[in-house]
Amino acid sequence: MDPEILRTSFAVVERRAEFALKYFYSHLFWHHPDVRALFPLDSPEDKERQRDRLFTALSLVVARLEGPGLHEYLRDLGRDHRKYLARPEHYTAVGDSLIAAFAAVSGSAWNPEVEKAWDEAYELISDVMLDGAGEAESQGEPSWWDAEVVGRTGHGDDLAVLTLRPDRPLPHLPGQYVSVGSPRAPGVWRPYSVGNATRRDGTLDLHVSLVEDGALSPVLVRRTREGDVLRLSAPGGRLTLRTPVERPLTFIAAGTGWAPVKALLEQLAREPGPYDEARLFVVARDIAYLYDRVALEGLRTGLPWLDVTVITPAPGRPKGQATERLLTALGNRANWARHDVYLAGPPGLVEEISSVLPRLGAEPSRVFCDELPSTGRDGDGGDGRPLGPGAWLLQRPRPHWHLPVGCDGD
């Protein structure tokens, strides 16, 4: 398997992603009509989201071909894909159609050498994913958990914290996320961070921000009530506490990125170590979106060594000023080379801040954040609100599947 051939040929395919996806699904459903039910493609928006998620996963794999984290990423992906009821024969069918689509859109750039490289790459991908799925099955881990909504706290019209009680223990570490599905949006799963450390009663909180044309967030924020049952996938993510007690800490939380950071701080409050320097930056696009201030004040009291900075735009100023103020505040702090940094928020902000921190002196391998696959125009995974048609033409966004790589520091 030649990584350079894979990267070069994938760059060609990316430029023709729309046609590649159409060819892929046409080929797949024609030759394997039984898999059609696994792919919810009922609208143009569904197709766009599926394109973005497919190319997100492929781009992450291609970027990590020679990195130490590839096998772990693929095993986790296979474990997670059990929620789609994916079987070994589905992997074979998808691989055949994916390579057929790549060949169709690559033109003269496709040759026997390129095809051999992709055959070998896909064999590796599917084998490791199936190993991950098999390991989870052997350990008795369910494909998903059914979780009853036992509490709902609304914060304005577009944010809700849902408290869920899974039907069986769902082991998770503070800072991890779960994928969430609802019977009101069949086939749709979106990742949300768990907003608490482990509780004795096994309940967990999800912080959900509304995106108007989202596939799942309107269901969760506007229509989900106590007594409803949601599905939760196995927990994932590596935004988990790994800092030795002698090393200082910095936490940066923007928007509902507060959820995993809150869970990490709850863990510190339960297991206090001899930390002598820790700082927290909480960022919101407006003071009205500082939705969990009571919990924030409680953690500030319980962790007296934690220095807390809350950042919002000035009254009447655009929400982008919050990012500017955050960058200024970070630049005014010293000793970044000594700190481990835990960062959570919208992908665009995470990408920007994780690129700035090394220039301030932070060690890139100790800047920890999760790579959540973009959900395209849905935005439920933290992608931000979609542009309107006019703004989209004037300020066309880059493809959603180009995400920052390596920011989890592993």
pLDDT value of position 337 = 93
pLDDT value of position 39 = 73
In this predicted model, what pLDDT tens digit does every residue of 304-337 receive, in sequence order?
889 999 999 888 788 778 889 999 999 999 999 9
Question: Is the pLDDT assigned to residue 409 strictly greater than 70?
Answer: no
Q: In Å, how far are 7, 191, 320, 361 from 410, measured between CA atoms?
A: 22, 21, 30, 19
- Which tokens hold the place of 212? 């108007």
CA distance 278 to 249: 5
Question: Is the pLDDT assigned to residue 383 strictly greater than 50?
Answer: no
Question: Is the pLDDT assigned to residue 240 strictly greater than 60?
Answer: yes
CB neighbour list of residue 128: distance below 8 Å, 6 or more residues apart: 71, 74, 75, 78
- The answer to whether the CB of 82 falls within 8 A of the CB of 407 is no
Handedness of CA 39, 44, 47, 52 (dihedral sign): negative
Question: Is the pLDDT assigned to residue 386 strictly greater than 70?
Answer: no
Across all residues in the chain, what is the average pLDDT?
84
CA distance 45 to 48: 5
Domains and CATH numbers, the chain: 3-138 (1.10.490.10), 145-232 (2.40.30.10), 249-370 (3.40.50.80)
- The answer to whether the CB of 261 falls within 8 A of the CB of 176 is no
pLDDT value of position 183 = 93
Handedness of CA 123, 126, 131, 134 (dihedral sign): negative
